Amino acid sequence: MTIIDGKKVSEEIQNEIAAEVQKIKSAGKKIPHLAAILVGNDGASETYVGGKVKACEKVGFVSTLVRMPDITSEKELLDKIAELNNDKDIDGFIVQLPLPKHINEQKVTEAIDPKKDVDGFHPANVGRMALNLPTYLPATPYGIIQLLERYKIETAGKNCVVIGRSHIVGLPMSILMVRNSNPGNCTVTITHSKTKNLKELCLQADIIIAALGKAEFLTADHVKQGAVIIDVGITRVKSDKTKTGWKLLGDVKYDEVAPKCSFITPVPGGVGPMTITSLMMNTLKACRREIY
Ligand code: NAD
């Protein structure tokens, strides 16, 4: 059984990006510039955006954090997006989700110029992904693809079960695994809260990607011997064994599932560290005009 070390792969990729930035600098070219819009002061969003800004510093990108109060109107946010769309110095930007309830997230997503949509959430980029055209892949699925690639995990012809169909993880993941590419070329079954025979489907899977957000949901009796398990879930639970008083659990009951697997991602330290790194990869692509 191999434990997939997302922290290590993430560091490797960030070092590769930093080396690219050095080359860009030496050549006197424009340094990649990522902007993030943060509306309101939700604690979790602050942490996520903070992590993205830190990662930019680490790889040598320029970053801009645009803070807007939670009373910002939808029009004010759309105006700010138009401004960033037209700002030649900014290669790509994200609007940190979730947004305050009075703002329509779909409208906001569609207002971002697809050329600068480094989150890969714009319908034009989702469509390009489905058609296997060059695009910005959504960060978490892109990170998983990187892990499969770097660990040389065979996917062609394999049965893959994706648990969860969210627009940011499950659905794009199922598209990536079915595409005619490597990693990809799987026979994919996408499952969700209304799926009736989940255990039966999982037992036939060579690869299971669990993204449902229910701590330790996937138990050993769901998993066949030798399966590859990718655990996307992150649930914070109380713990009297840690200093902080809480710990993170994945969607997989790790201790009993791991002995049956060929490969498994731990939580924390598996998929999680890859997400911000994928955003850095997309920003580099945006700066190099690799997609559009
Ligand atoms: P979501 O709540 O938007 O979607 C959950 C999906 O799971 C839904 O499609 C639902 O139909 C499905 N589901 C729920 N119960 C199910 C069941 N019993 N059987 C089968 N399917 C079921 O969640 P999300 O945003 O996709 O996130 C999923 C998990 O991944 C969460 O724990 C989240 O914190 C985590 N996450 C981690 C990262 C990362 O960087 N590692 C990034 C994004 C999300």
Compute how many other C-beta atoms are within 10 angstroms of the C-beta atom of residue 210: 29
Q: Would you identify the CATH topology of the domain 27-115? A: Rossmann fold (3.40.50)
Edge-to-edge strand list for the sheet holding 159-163: 2-3, 261-264, 227-231, 207-210, 159-163, 187-191
In this structure, the strands spanning 33-39 and 92-95 are: parallel
User: What are the start and end residues of each CATH 3.40.50.10860 domain in the chain?
Assistant: 27-115
Q: What is the rounded distance in angstroms from the CA atom of residue 50 to the CA atom of residue 66?
A: 12
User: Whose C-alpha lies nearest to ligand 1, atom 19?
Assistant: 193
CA diameter of the chain = 58
Sequence letter at residue 236: R
**Is ligand 1 within 6 A of the CB of residue 164?**
yes
Find how far residue 290's CA is from the centre of its chain: 20
- Which of 3.20.20.70, 3.40.50.150, 3.40.50.460, 3.40.50.720 would CATH assign to domain 139-272? 3.40.50.720
Position 99 scores a pLDDT of 97
Catalytic residue among 91, 96, 146, 285: 96
Per-residue model confidence (pLDDT) at position 227? 98
Q: Which atom of ligand 1 is nearest to the CA of 251?
A: 32
232 lines ligand 1 (CB under 6 A): yes
pLDDT at 44: 92
Indicate if ligand 1 lies below 6 Å from the C-beta of 195: yes
CB atoms within 10 A of CB 102: 10
- Regions of the chain where pLDDT drops below 50: none
Among residues 5, 91, 119, 231, the one annotated as catalytic is 119
Q: Which residues make up the CATH 3.40.50.720 domain(s) of the chain? A: 139-272
Query: What's this model's pTM, rounded to 2 decimal places?
Result: 0.97
d(CA 168, CA 104): 17
Question: Is any atom of ligand 1 closer than 6 Å to the C-beta of 278?
Answer: no
- 206 is known as an active-site residue: no
